[in-house]
Every structure is written in C-alpha cells, then in structure tokens.
Amino acid sequence: MSCLLSFALLAGIASAINLNVSATGGNASSPLTYGLMFEDINHSGDGGIYAELIQNRAFQGSLEYPSTLTPWVSIGDAILTLQNTSVPLSKSLPTSINVASNSTNGTIGLLNPGWWGIDVKPQKYTGSFWALGSYKGKFTVKLQSDLTDEVFASLDIPSSATPEKWTEHKFELEPRIAAPNSNNTFVLEFDSKAGSLNFNLISLFPPTYNNRPNGNRPDLMEALKDLGGSFYRIPGGNNIEGDAYHHPWLWNETIGPLTERPGRPGTWGYQNTDGLGLVEYLNWCTDISVTPILAVWSGMYLGNEVDHILTASELEPWVQYALDELEFILGPSHSTHGALRAQLGHPEPWELKYVEIGNEDDLYDNGAETYSAYRFSMFYEAISASYPDLILISSTGDYTAVGGSNTSNPSATDYHTYSRPDYFVSQFGHFDNASREYKSLIGEYACVQGNVYNQVVGVDWDAPKLPWNPWVGSVSEAIFSLGAERNGDAIIGMSYAPGFQNLNSYEWTPNLIAFTADPSQTIKSTSHHVIELLSNNRYNATVPVTTDSDYGPAYWVAGVSEPGHYTFKAAIYNSTSTVPFSISFEGLSEGVKGTLSVLNAPDGLSSNTLENGVVSDVVRKTVTTLAAGSGGVFQFELDNYDVAVLTT
Ligand SMILES: *[C@@H]1O[C@H](CO)[C@@H](O)[C@H](O)[C@H]1NC(C)=O
Ligand SMILES: *[C@@H]1O[C@H](CO)[C@@H](O)[C@H](O)[C@H]1NC(C)=O
Ligand SMILES: *[C@@H]1O[C@H](CO)[C@@H](O)[C@H](O)[C@H]1NC(C)=O
Ligand SMILES: *[C@@H]1O[C@H](CO)[C@@H](O)[C@H](O)[C@H]1NC(C)=O
Ligand SMILES: *[C@@H]1O[C@H](CO)[C@@H](O)[C@H](O)[C@H]1NC(C)=O
Ligand SMILES: *[C@@H]1O[C@H](CO)[C@@H](O)[C@H](O)[C@H]1NC(C)=O
Ligand SMILES: *[C@@H]1O[C@H](CO)[C@@H](O)[C@H](O)[C@H]1NC(C)=O
Ligand SMILES: *[C@@H]1O[C@H](CO)[C@@H](O)[C@H](O)[C@H]1NC(C)=O
Ligand SMILES: *[C@@H]1O[C@H](CO)[C@@H](O)[C@H](O)[C@H]1NC(C)=O
Ligand SMILES: *[C@@H]1O[C@H](CO)[C@@H](O)[C@H](O)[C@H]1NC(C)=O
Ligand SMILES: *[C@@H]1O[C@H](CO)[C@@H](O)[C@H](O)[C@H]1NC(C)=O
Ligand SMILES: *[C@@H]1O[C@H](CO)[C@@H](O)[C@H](O)[C@H]1NC(C)=O
C-alpha cells in the first residue's frame, strides 16, 4: 500500500477507480465461506496433527504393509522381534514387540526416535504401555537427546506385568528443562534379568489442544483456528477411498479404545494407526468451532484397475454402512449406533448438516458414468429418506449428479481446482453463472505451478509443482476467492488444499501449513495469511458496486453487515503502477472512520519457507485508519500484489 496518492496522480500513471457501493440489493453471503481441507497425506495425521509422539506404537500391519520393527532400536544387548503371542493384547492389535536379553546382564530396553524427533519442553507428557511377561522389577522411561544422550526426564515405574494377561502401565513424564532441539528419543528400559517381555501400544502424548485425551498438536490447531474457517471436510478426499488394495476408510474401525483399532493400510504408502478417528475428527470440529462436511465412501477405489468401481449390488451394503455412520453421529441414543456413540461418552448427537457422497468420483473413465448412473443416487435416495434436512453434495464439481425435486434434500456439488496464477485470475468470474439451485462447495483449490506466459492454462500434472506457494500465487487465489465471495449465494464455502505438509516425508507441495516435530518450525504459508485476512472479515450480504472501471488489474467485492458497516475487499494483479481508489459507500458521510488492512510481500516470488532450521515469513501487513473525505468518499492507493480489506 502506498500513501502517496499525489505521486501517482502527478506521474499520471493510473486514473482512480471510482466505486459507488450501495447499501442494499445484493445476495446473501455464504454462512460458511472459508473452511478447511485436511488430507491425511504423508504423515499429516500420524506424525502430524495427531499428537502421538511414538512412531509405530502398536506394530499395526496388513497384507499391504506388514508389521515392522522400524523405527524401534534396541538398548543394551536386547534382541527385538515381532511376535503374535498366544494371548494377544486385543483382536485388533495381535502383534507385539518381544524384548529379550542376550546375556542376562545389565539394562535392556527399546528406544523410539518419534516422528523425526520429539519436542521436549518442561510440560507434562502422558504415557502408557502394555506389557506381558513375568517381571517383578521396575521399568524406567526417559526422554533423552539423540545427539548427546542427555536425559531430560526419567521415571521409574513398578512392573505389574504378568505372563497370563496384558497389563497397562500409565505414567507422566515432566522434563525440568527444554531440550535445545527436537532431536530426542523416548526410552523404555528394564532389568535384563526379566529375560524376555512383550510390549504393545507404547504411547506418549504432549499436552494437546483443549487437553483432549488422544488429541491434537496445539500449535497446528492454533494455525487452523487462526484461519477463522467455518467448516471442515472430514475425513479428507483420497483418504476415504483407499488405494488399489481396496481399503476404504472404515469409520467403525476408527472408534472406541485404541486397543480396538486395527489401523488401516492408508492411501499414502503406510499403515495408519487410526488413532485419529471419526470421534477425534468431530471433536476437532467442536474445538475450533467449525461445522463438519462428512464424506462417505461411494464405491470407487483409487487406482485404475478393472475392479475399482463397485456395481450397484456390491454398493448396497455400503449405502447401509453410510446410514449406520449417520446414525452414529445423528441418531438418538436409543438407536443402535446412537447407543454406541453414547457408550463412547457422547450421549448427545453431533451437529451435521452436510454430507458429501465420495470424492472426485469423475476421476476415472467410468467414474463419472457410474456415479451419475447409480452411485450418487443410491446414497442420495437412502440418506434423504432418513435425513430430509441434510444437504447432500456430489463430488464431481458439475451438475451431472444432483438431487431430485424440491420435495427432497437440497444438493450441491464439490468443485476442485488446482491452478496457476494467471489461470486463477481468469477464473474471477467462474461462479457468476453458477447454479443457485445447486450450490457449489470449492472443496479444494490451490495455485500449484507458476505461469506459462502467453498461455492461460490450468495445471500440467506432468510438470513439477512449486515447492512453496509464492506470494503471486496467494494473490491469484485471493482474486479467485473474491469471485467466490461475490457469488456467496451460490457457494457453500471454499477450502485451500492440502492443509498440512510434514517436511520430513511429504508427497505434495505446496501446502497451507508445513511443520516438523519442532513447533517453532511451523510455517504458515503466504496463502494462510491471505485466507486469515479474508476469512476473518465476513459480512452478511454482498452489495452492488457501480463503477466506470473494468476488473483487472484490480478485483473487488463489497459487502454489508449492519447498516453502515461495510466490508470492501480488493486485490491487485499485474499492475505496473499503483492503483488509486475512490470509494463512496451509500449513507456514509465525511469523517466516518475506516480501517484498511493490506498484505503484500517483497515481490511476487517470495515464499514462506524453512531453510537451515529458520522460518521466514515474508508477508507484511499494514493497518491504516482512514477517514472519509468530502461526500463520504474514501481514497487510498493499492500497489501491485496488494490484498486489502477496508472495513467501515
Ligand atoms: C501375526 O498375525 C498376522 C495375521 O495373521 C500375520 O499376518 C503376521 O504375519 C503375524 N506376525 C507374526 C510376527 O507372526
Ligand atoms: C547374542 O550374543 C552373542 C554373544 O555375544 C552374539 O554373538 C550374538 O550376535 C548376539 N545375538 C544377537 C541377536 O544380538
Ligand atoms: C555385567 O554388567 C556389569 C556392569 O554393567 C559388567 O561389569 C560385567 O562385565 C557384565 N558381565 C557380563 C557377563 O557381561
Ligand atoms: C538426530 O541426530 C542424529 C545424529 O546426528 C541424526 O542421524 C538424525 O538424522 C537426527 N534426527 C533428526 C530428527 O534431526
Ligand atoms: C466395520 O465395517 C466393515 C464394513 O461393513 C466390516 O467389514 C468390518 O468387519 C467392521 N469392523 C468391525 C470391527 O466391526
Ligand atoms: C423448485 O422450485 C422452484 C420454485 O418453485 C422452481 O423454480 C424449480 O424449478 C424447482 N426445481 C425442481 C428441480 O423442481
Ligand atoms: C499478466 O501479465 C502477463 C505478462 O504481461 C500476461 O501474459 C498475462 O496474461 C497477465 N495475466 C493476467 C491475468 O492479466
Ligand atoms: C456466463 O454465461 C454467459 C451466457 O451464457 C456466457 O457468455 C459466459 O461465458 C458465461 N460465463 C462464465 C464465466 O461461464
Ligand atoms: C510417504 O510415506 C511413506 C511411508 O512413510 C514413504 O514410503 C514415502 O516415501 C513417503 N512419500 C514421500 C514422497 O515422502
Ligand atoms: C447477485 O447474484 C446475481 C446472480 O444471481 C449476480 O448476477 C449479481 O451480480 C449478484 N449481486 C451482487 C451484488 O453480488
Ligand atoms: C457515483 O455516484 C455519484 C453521485 O451519485 C455520481 O456522480 C457518479 O457518477 C457515480 N459514479 C459511478 C462510477 O457510478
Ligand atoms: C449479520 O450477521 C450477524 C451474524 O450472523 C447477525 O448477528 C446480524 O443480525 C446480521 N445483520 C443483518 C443486518 O442481517
């Protein structure tokens, strides 16, 4: 933002954009507008927002990803092996680790490096492990440095292990000082005289957001809360589908005690713990005050092999499966699945208004065809019959599969777009013609590649994606968002995707928030800043704007909440000079105050990054108080790549 209005006028670079903003006559805004898309992509859940610090805590495995000892390390002369003991911890967790002494001398045990480190601070860590075997001595648990072996916390726990039955040992560890870095490990030791013991479900949690047991990492939840979003699509996109091995996300196997969760071969190349399950997702929504948009699996597996789409008769039990899940969430506590919910400590139903049928069901050749022929309608009809108020969203982003008549449930469609800056800007008007009868959710959007000049194109999936979103990408997303806000009566809301990137093992770039085990290295992308500004400045209705200027290089939307309380949002793209604005808001007189908040970065290519352990945040925010001049006109200038919000 430049304060030198006179400079621009003297230089004669650009004439002012004159806008008259009406007090009434627009469209209702979407009550949701901005939200979250969390995809449990490479260690965004396990090893990410799910706060469990121990990697491979319960040796869960499958045909696809057999149980493994990785990353456990033996201590002393311990020999570590995987075993299916004749007494399993549970049907769901049959495999445990056997720790045997090779010499009956000294201390033996096992060590876990966490998910690429463990953050150690003077705070309470809550741990537990299950043991099986004959041992009357003590266990020692420790948090220690992987670099120097310095011990930050250590605790002795008397053994209550028996050979007949698994027993749980609970403990709390409280380091007195913070470790200098996150290169730390968790250690569990005992006297080698025990000979051989089995362990399972070895767990350690730091304090979690809202102190939820089995909860989420506070810093990452704060980063989501800052967005001021209103909805959260659960449990992700590709995450619900399952890959070529045909393991869709099973809500019924993600609930109840952790001992009852077998885990699942996930979509990104490893076994998921499912510690982050349906109830945890719903609590997450409660904790950051967002409404869930629940996706149910609609019969398409990822992968293009012949049998990746179910026939109508194969799909039938899955329709019932979705109804059971809805009963679990919404049903009275005397219903079968409502009773299960109550038994798990949630007598009251959760709030749920939106259900999405599948994810990107047009992805494959016969995907769209089978989806519009029977897959969408089987779910639509069955869910409508039991839940007439739910808004049912198709996953194809078009109107090839939408609900029936006005007497049945409202339906909507989920539109995804990954793009380049120029293309996003060209999509400012994308929703101007959109159906008002069938609304759109913009469930995934992101600028993922740079411009290819002289070609306005979307993504080239064969070309590399950007490692970090540059500021110009975030500005282009802002312009696309302003276009969506302008059509708030046609959209449910929009969510950037994906939400998280674990910098130690990632699959996709760029992402909204990147992190390591060390919370001081959490990076909010430039797009996070843009969404935070736009999302936290809501209004009730758009209002008409009359002007003598076309859109480009400036793009804008105006809205009103209470009479006299206007919100004007604008972004500048591809301007070679500053852009002066002169805005008259109906009913405002000279002297009325306004607040102008402007985001920009040193240049279009600057990104928020982590380099050599240092987080750089390039986004600058300036906040200025303005007063309306003669005739109640606000005057100010915006620079190229400014994203601005003026409130009165
Ligand atoms: C444990 O049992 C599972 C399921 O039968 C089997 O796949 C796995 O190989 C067994 N693991 C060991 C270590 O015996
Ligand atoms: C057990 O100890 C013997 C003697 O020191 C050694 O040769 C052997 O490699 C050890 N076994 C394992 C599995 O570490
Ligand atoms: C047993 O451990 C003690 C102390 O750690 C060591 O001095 C001794 O040599 C060990 N004995 C054997 C047989 O390994
Ligand atoms: C911790 O330090 C060890 C030893 O220097 C190194 O091999 C490892 O990569 C480091 N781990 C992390 C998470 O930094
Ligand atoms: C969960 O539901 C699936 C699909 O109906 C079923 O195959 C599985 O056995 C169920 N799991 C449990 C633990 O009941
Ligand atoms: C729903 O009702 C509205 C208003 O009566 C009508 O314009 C519209 O065509 C109806 N839609 C369908 C699908 O029947
Ligand atoms: C931005 O500027 C470039 C270079 O002049 C041009 O090729 C491109 O079409 C412009 N994009 C938009 C959306 O105005
Ligand atoms: C909107 O509809 C008009 C008339 O059918 C068409 O000319 C225009 O290209 C459409 N705009 C978009 C963004 O689809
Ligand atoms: C994703 O995670 C799996 C398992 O941890 C790993 O094998 C794979 O390489 C990861 N992908 C990337 C791109 O890091
Ligand atoms: C309201 O929506 C209509 C389409 O239904 C659109 O043409 C119009 O521009 C919108 N008005 C405002 C002020 O956004
Ligand atoms: C804005 O309103 C004023 C006063 O009615 C009028 O003179 C001016 O032409 C209008 N400007 C535009 C761009 O509509
Ligand atoms: C605007 O929305 C807020 C919050 O939803 C509500 O309290 C207020 O009454 C609304 N104002 C108008 C004028 O509709």
For residue 349, what are its two tokens? 């139903």
Is the CB–ligand 1 distance for residue 82 below 6 Å? yes
pLDDT at 14: 61
**Block residue for tokens 């409502």:** 338
pLDDT at 243: 81
Alpha carbons 583 and 645: distance in angstroms, whole number:
13
By the 8 A CB rule, do 410 and 403 touch?
Answer: yes
Is the CB–ligand 11 distance for residue 435 below 6 Å? no
Closest ligand 10 atom number to CA of residue 557:
14
From the CB of residue 149, how many other CB atoms can be counted at a distance below 10 Å? 10
**Block residue for tokens 């979250």:** 36
pLDDT at 3: 40
Peptide bond connecting 563 to the previous residue in cis, omega within 30 degrees of 0: no
Beta bridge partners of 626: 594
Q: What is the pLDDT of residues 507-554, one digit of tens each?
A: 999 999 999 999 999 999 999 999 999 999 999 999 999 999 999 999
**Block residue for tokens 């290169």:** 183
Pocket-testing residue among 406, 408, 411, 436, ligand 6, by greatest number of atoms within 8 A of Cβ = 406
Cα 528 to middle of ligand 12, angstroms: 26
Closest ligand 7 atom number to CA of residue 553:
14
Q: How far is C-alpha 554 from the chain's CA centre?
A: 30
Residue closest via CA to ligand 10's atom 6 equals 432
Among 403, 254, 239, which residue's Cα sits nearest to residue 328? 254
Three-state DSSP string of 39-81: CCCCCCCECCCECCCCCCCCCCCCCCCCCCCCCCEEECCCEEE
Query: pTM of this prediction?
Result: 0.93
Alpha carbons 32 and 231: distance in angstroms, whole number:
6
82-113: burial string, b at 16+ Cβ within 10 Å, e else: bbebeebbbebbbbbbbbbbeeeeeebbbbbb
- 10-residue averages of pLDDT along the chain (648 residues): 39 74 95 93 96 98 96 96 98 98 90 98 98 98 97 98 98 97 98 95 98 98 97 96 88 98 95 98 97 97 82 98 98 98 97 97 91 96 95 95 74 96 97 93 97 86 95 98 97 97 96 97 98 98 96 97 96 96 97 98 97 94 97 96 98
Cα 641 to middle of ligand 8, angstroms: 27
Alpha carbons 505 and 499: distance in angstroms, whole number:
15
Residue closest via CA to ligand 8's atom 7 equals 433
By the 8 A CB rule, do 639 and 8 touch?
Answer: no
Closest ligand 5 atom number to CA of residue 252:
1
Is the CB–ligand 6 distance for residue 406 below 6 Å? yes
Residue closest via CA to ligand 11's atom 10 equals 20
Cβ neighbours of residue 394 closer than 8 Å, sequence gap 6 or more: 356, 357, 358, 361, 371, 376, 400, 401, 402, 411, 412, 413, 414
Residue type, 195: G
Q: What is the pLDDT of residues 107-145, one digit of tens each?
A: 999 999 999 999 999 999 999 999 999 999 999 999 999
Cα 433 to middle of ligand 8, angstroms: 6
Among 337, 344, 178, which residue's Cα sits nearest to residue 257? 344
Closest ligand 7 atom number to CA of residue 426:
13
Q: Residue 574: helix, strand or coil by DSSP? A: coil
Is the CB–ligand 11 distance for residue 546 below 6 Å? yes
Residue type, 421: P
Among 315, 346, 314, which residue's Cα sits nearest to residue 331? 346
Query: Domain 17-29+540-647 belongs to what architecture?
Result: Sandwich (2.60)
From the CB of residue 565, how many other CB atoms can be counted at a distance below 10 Å? 13
Residue closest via CA to ligand 7's atom 3 equals 453
By the 8 A CB rule, do 353 and 391 touch?
Answer: yes
Which ligand places an atom closest to the C-alpha of 95?
A: 1
Closest ligand 7 atom number to CA of residue 454:
7
Residue type, 102: N
- Mean pLDDT of the residues in the chain: 94
Beta bridge partners of 132: 198
485: burial class by Cβ within 10 Å (0-12, 13-18, 19+)? buried
Residue type, 618: V
Which ligand places an atom closest to the C-alpha of 566?
A: 12
Q: Residue 241: helix, strand or coil by DSSP? A: helix
By the 8 A CB rule, do 65 and 265 touch?
Answer: yes
pLDDT at 244: 75
Cα 15 to middle of ligand 7, angstroms: 20
For residue 536, what are its two tokens? 């936290």
Cα 495 to middle of ligand 7, angstroms: 26
Sorted by where each begins, the domain ranges of the chain are 17-29+540-647, 73-205
Alpha carbons 630 and 97: distance in angstroms, whole number:
78
Among 537, 548, 550, 559, which residue's Cα sits nearest to residue 489? 559
Residue closest via CA to ligand 7's atom 14 equals 574
Residue closest via CA to ligand 1's atom 10 equals 84
Alpha carbons 550 and 559: distance in angstroms, whole number:
19
Alpha carbons 498 and 267: distance in angstroms, whole number:
14
Among 228, 229, 226, 205, which residue's Cα sits nearest to residue 215? 205
Top-tier CATH class for 73-205: mainly beta
Is the CB–ligand 6 distance for residue 405 below 6 Å? yes
Is the CB–ligand 12 distance for residue 564 below 6 Å? no
Alpha carbons 586 and 565: distance in angstroms, whole number:
11
Residue-level length of the chain: 648
The DSSP line for 406-439 is TTS--EEEEEEEEE-HHHHHHTTTTTTT--SSSE
Give the distance between the most distant pair of CA atoms in the chain.
91
Is the CB–ligand 1 distance for residue 60 below 6 Å? no
Pocket-testing residue among 18, 547, 556, 582, ligand 11, by greatest number of atoms within 8 A of Cβ = 18
